[in-house]
């Protein structure tokens, strides 16, 4: 990989790690809510997958980064507390599902943007593919949970 392309890739990986950190915190925050009953198993899986994906992204980052100029990921965690407060204010599980789905959608786009850098490194591409598959599953599950509230909103009100 040429130097400028490698530098872009390292920045994207760093950004993806931060997105996974936010994902971890959001799933943990959602698990604290009383109204999440049937979604608890999926939320727990989302939280653990975010932790695992952070570790794997960290390994990729360490492999490609320049030790002289690139910072360490652990010290660069950027969790926006406004993001968490929005989730904290949501009560209905369908609203929480919709919010998490939007987050998963953004992360899916970030993963897809990595493909132009992964032409030769098959191991990194395999990890990215696995992450994409798993996050896509979460996205689909959350989409189904969110649809429940949309169906309820479309029902006619009977007086």
Lowest mean pLDDT among 44-53, 65-74, 126-135, 142-151: 65-74
What is the per-residue pLDDT for 150? 52
Tell which wins on pLDDT, 80 or 84: 84
To which H or E segment does residue 124 belong?
A: helix 122-154
Percent of the chain surpassing pLDDT 90: 47
Which CATH superfamily groups domain 3-154? Ferritin, core subunit, four-helix bundle (1.20.1260.10)
- pLDDT category at 64 given cuts 50, 70, 90 is confident
Contact 73, 17 (CB under 8 A): yes
Question: Domain boundaries in the chain?
Answer: 3-154
Q: What is the mean pLDDT of residues 139-159?
A: 68
pTM, two decimal places:
0.83
């Amino acid at each position: 990989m040429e130097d400028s392309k490698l530098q872009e890739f390292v920045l994207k990986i760093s950004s993806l790690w931060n997105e996974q950190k936010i994902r971890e915190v959001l799933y943990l925050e959602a698990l604290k809510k009383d109204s999440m009953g049937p979604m608890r198993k999926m939320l727990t899986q989302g939280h653990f997958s975010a932790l695992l994906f952070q570790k794997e992204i960290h390994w990729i980052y360490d492999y490609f980064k320049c030790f002289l100029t690139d910072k360490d990921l652990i010290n660069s965690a950027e969790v926006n507390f406004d993001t968490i407060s929005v989730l904290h204010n949501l009560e209905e599980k369908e609203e929480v599902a919709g919010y998490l789905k939007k987050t998963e959608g953004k992360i899916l786009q970030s993963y897809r943007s990595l493909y132009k850098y992964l032409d030769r490194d098959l191991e990194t591409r395999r990890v990215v593919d696995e992450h994409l598959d798993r996050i896509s599953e979460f996205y689909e599950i959350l989409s189904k949970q969110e649809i429940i509230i949309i169906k309820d909103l479309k029902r006619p009100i009977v007086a």
